[in-house]
Amino acid sequence: MIIGLTGKNGAGKGEVANILKEAGFIYHSLSDVIRDEVSKLGKTITRDLLIKIGNKLRETGGPSVLADKILEKLDPEKNYVVDSIRHPAEVQALKRRSDFTLVCVTAPPDTRFERIKARARESDPVNFKSFLELEKKEAENADPTAQQLVSTIKLANLEIENTASIEDLSEKVKNIIRDLSKKAKRPPWDEYFMGIAKVAALRSNCIKRKVAAVIIRDKRIIATGYNGTPRGIKNCNEGGCPRCNSFGSSGKNLEECLCSHAEENSIVQSAYHGVEIRDSTLYTTFSPCLMCTKMIINSGIKEVVYNAAYPMADLPLKLLAEAYIKVRKV
């Protein structure tokens, strides 16, 4: 999951981030993107300069540029906390990830002022009046590339009031993690196995088309295969298959192709390692050709799930149906 943090200055976003980091979340801050830019300029970091450079980055790269740069660093299988979200466009960019939740951290103005005095960070306001003036400046701005904190806060999915002890705040954060974990969506089995097949296809050495298949039984992978030249033969992308390297029309002169197909390789690999595949399901990124279809039928595979249709798919699919093998496209 990705938990984004927003809120007014001194609300305690940093404390929430620390609690999440202790819980195993990887930390990123949109402000760090700006800090990196200031460092490149060789200038001393101040709050006013951070705001100025942040506005400039949004002006040149679009209002979501800071979030866009952070998104490039996020893997789908890890938990992240993203701090310092101050513009609605940043929220919209992060919401491209379905596992993103925006949390607003709140506290009264006098409490927040005392906190920033205590931390003494980069030219923070030294009196309550300047604190309120800066807060008003950051809250709303007619310039669409400037910070829009009030509008950003309105987009929050959840709110944490941070007015008590660290222990109280920690329990609130942990409750949010528990609730979000219960709602987290895991990919369904078809998406899971087809996704693995698509990754396996990246291992293909065929110069024309990368295809892969995985064989499943009892929701476990028992064999994989991807297309390419046979074991010990020069790889297709190194010139091993003259037919593929001539870039002829798809589906023609297949008898001259030296590459083994993904389905063929998954079945042959099963035989090579002595793995029984009868009554299994085969997931393949392309529907099988006629040769692979005959191998599927004779090997006892009971179901074929494919992602895209092979150029000559009609006869193989009819043959699979005649053999009472279930076929699905996902």
From the list 156, 127, 184, 137, the residue with the least C-alpha distance to 16 is: 156
Give the full edge-to-edge strand order of the sheet including 158-161: 26-29, 80-83, 2-6, 100-106, 158-161
From the list 180, 98, 87, the residue with the least C-alpha distance to 141 is: 87
Here the tokens at position 137 are 């400046």
From the list 258, 270, 254, 326, the residue with the least C-alpha distance to 297 is: 326
What length is written for the chain? 330
Q: Is 236 exposed, middle or buried (0-12, 13-18, 19+ CB in 10 A)?
A: buried
From the list 281, 317, 103, the residue with the least C-alpha distance to 194 is: 281
Residue 275's SS3 state is coil
CB-CB contact of 123 with 70 (8 Å)? no
CB-CB contact of 102 with 80 (8 Å)? no
Can you tell me the distance from the alpha carbon of 216 to that of 256, in angstroms, rounded to the nearest whole number?
A: 31
Q: What is the rounded end-to-end Cα distance, in angstroms, of the chain? A: 26
135 is known as an active-site residue = no
CB-CB contact of 169 with 18 (8 Å)? no
Residue type, 287: S
Can you tell me the distance from the alpha carbon of 282 to that of 223, in angstroms, rounded to the nearest whole number?
A: 9
Candidate list 90, 138, 263, 264, residue with the active-site label: 263
Can you tell me the distance from the alpha carbon of 280 to that of 201, in angstroms, rounded to the nearest whole number?
A: 20
Catalytic residues: 263
